[in-house]
A = this chain, B = another copy of it.
Amino acid sequence: MTHRSSDTLIDTVILDVDGTLVDSNYHHALAWARAFAHHELFPPIWRIHRAVGMGGDKLVAHVAGDEAEQRVGGPLRDRWTQEFDRLIQEVRPFDGTRTLLEAVKARGHHLVLASSGQPQHVETFLGLFDGKALADAWTTADDAEESKPAPDLLHVALSRVGGSAGVMVGDATWDAQAAKSAGMPSVGLLTGGFSEAELRDAGAAEVFEGPARLARAVAEGLVEGLPSGPSQAPGR
């Protein structure tokens, strides 16, 4: 891997999947609430919602504390998988998801779908909009050593297509934070239920309503217009 200079042009668009391309965050929040409740834990669901998008390995401690993680973290995550499996057939792609992917490719950028979801869930979601046919690469939870907000997944995404500079697109504050840690700019979408102020506070350079609006901006040269992040070695 090489250091890149600060005037390197962005050549790679890294798209989060859950909550960004498919409308899944509210199902995630409720599945987590049910899994917590199964273990007699009742965190407010708005706190769960705000944690969706960080790695599932980190969410239990973040929402309910280290003691809860140590006591029931593993079984609670297993329960979450069961609960989410009962809801996954309700999840749909957002209007404009396919258009966004096509706009990125038409503009000549590398396109990576960077999900940190479980492989079987990612498989299902990509199938909803024929993601594998459109993207140059994709990732799952299995591909990064440490989950978001750590930058690992973004480095993997970039290296998988031989990109030299990327922009991260996501719906969650964790996406913007991961991008910041990776030295990349980020773009936020309102699709996951985070507010514009929250996304900007977390570091998003631009915020769009959803994939359709972002697709128009990409077609008009948004990506080339973004400043690439400060020069930073992609590794740890």
Contacts and interface: CB of A to CB of B under 8 A. Distances in A.
A37 interface: yes
Interface stretch (A3-11, A25-33, A103-111, A149-157): A25-33
Contact of A34 (B29, B44, B90): B90
Contacts of A94: 44
Copies of chain A in the complex: 2
A198 interface: yes
Interface in A196-228: 196-198, 210
A213 B26 CA distance: 26
Q: Is the interface of A mostly helix, strand, loop or mixed?
A: helix
Interface string A23-57: 10111011001100100001011100100000000
Contacts of A210: 44
A192 interface: yes
